[in-house]
Amino acid sequence: MQKAIRFGAVASLLFMTAGCIQQSSGEEGSKGTIGIAMPTQSSERWIADGNQMVAYFEELGYDTDLQYAEDIVENQFSQIENMITRGVDALVIASIDGETLTSVLESANAENIPVISYDRLIMNSEYVDYYATFDNYKVGVLQGEYIVEALNLEEEEGPFNIELFAGSPDDNNATFFFKGAMSVLQPYIDQGKLVVPSGQTDFNQIAILGWDGAKAQSRMDNLLSSNYGGGEELHAVLAPADLLSIGIIASLKNSGYTVDTMPIITGQDADLPAVNAVIKGEQAMTVFKDTRLLAKKAVEMTEAVLQGEEPEVNDTNTYDNNAKVVPAFLEEPVVVDQDNYEEVLVDSGYYEASQLDQ
């Protein structure tokens, strides 16, 4: 028994470090191997993205080499380097730090390996062929609009207290989310209907490196003790993603907030803990980005490039990575809250009802 457990642990360790090489079951032989480099398994969305791409690539007759780097920049670099050495035919990469892959993409280019940037834009390289993502600015707009509607800022004078969080500064998406949200919230701050008691409104003050929920939790602890010690109420928190909102909720609960007194808290990704927090009423909303759509799009893009065809894109202006404007396909993000989570997440088959605390 003990041996079996130990073997299991070793096997899963090997599995994690070696990643996962899948062979297509196609009978005519493989059309090639696709290297898929994903950032981390700490948010379920990336697990879903990886698994779905593997499934779609296999359907088309490709083998895949799926690797997660657990948010360690150097590991992702060497995983991609190894994929190139092993001779993959294309790379799909969701970067950890978008600014650190310039030289490894040069190696990919030297071997004529096309690169698809997945969800996050890879910066500072002309060798990013295409970009499959969601409308990142719109994600922020949806979060801002939700706060405006929930506090009824059109009618109410307030002032309402809000604190702002942003994502990881090494992730190009983080500024898009923040700018989108502030395009909606800033006018209400200017009118005095929204007030930020901490005064922390600059991206650099509010960004959470590595999308780390524990860091978000401790920043929220500090905000509460420095600015809300006299019983001031917090009415809203702009949280860019579920990894952070979950830490923020933990901090608020520790300092006495309950379901009934929780501020309006936003999120993104429809990760299970956050969806359950929405159902409970601790988190107001999350922005759902259907990973099935994005995975399919990235697979179609890769297939098109490998077949010498032009992939479908719908944005050729927005995503300048400092070396080129990368042609992109933007999928549509969707607001999920208590009113529609069943329809959007359960009826569509994204989650089983049994996975949710209903």
Closer by beta carbon to ligand GAL, 91 or else 244: 244
What's the closest the beta carbon of residue 270 comes to ligand GAL, in angstroms? 10
Q: Kindly state the smallest distance separating residue 210's Cβ from ligand GAL, in Å.
A: 9
Least distance in Å: CB of 256 to ligand GAL? 28
Contact residues toward ligand GAL (CB under 6 A) are 43, 45, 119-120, 167, 171, 173, 211, 241, 243, 268-269, 289
Of the two residues 122 and 224, which places its CB atom closer to ligand GAL in the complex?
122
Are 313 and 329 in contact by the 8 Å Cβ rule? The answer is: yes
In whole angstroms, how close is the CB of 109 to ligand GAL at the nearest point?
Answer: 24
CB of 42 to ligand GAL, least distance (A): 8
Rounded distance between C-alpha atoms, residue 271 and residue 129, angstroms:
29
Q: Judged by CB, which is closer to ligand GAL: 173, or 198?
A: 173
Nearer to ligand GAL among residue 129 and residue 170 (C-beta): 170
* Distance (Å, whole) CA 68 – CA 36: 9
Cβ-proximal residues to 196 (8 Å cutoff; 6+ apart), any chain: 161, 162, 163, 164, 189
- Residue among 184 and 208 whose Cβ is closer to ligand GAL: 208
Looking at the Cβ atoms of 184 and 294, the one nearer to ligand GAL is 294
How near is the Cβ of 180 to ligand GAL at its closest, in Å?
12
Smallest distance from the beta carbon of 43 to ligand GAL, in angstroms?
5
Minimum distance from residue 31 beta carbon to ligand GAL (Å): 29
Q: Nearer to ligand GAL by C-beta: 96 or 305?
A: 96
List the one residue out of 130, 132, 80 whose CA is nearest residue 105: 80
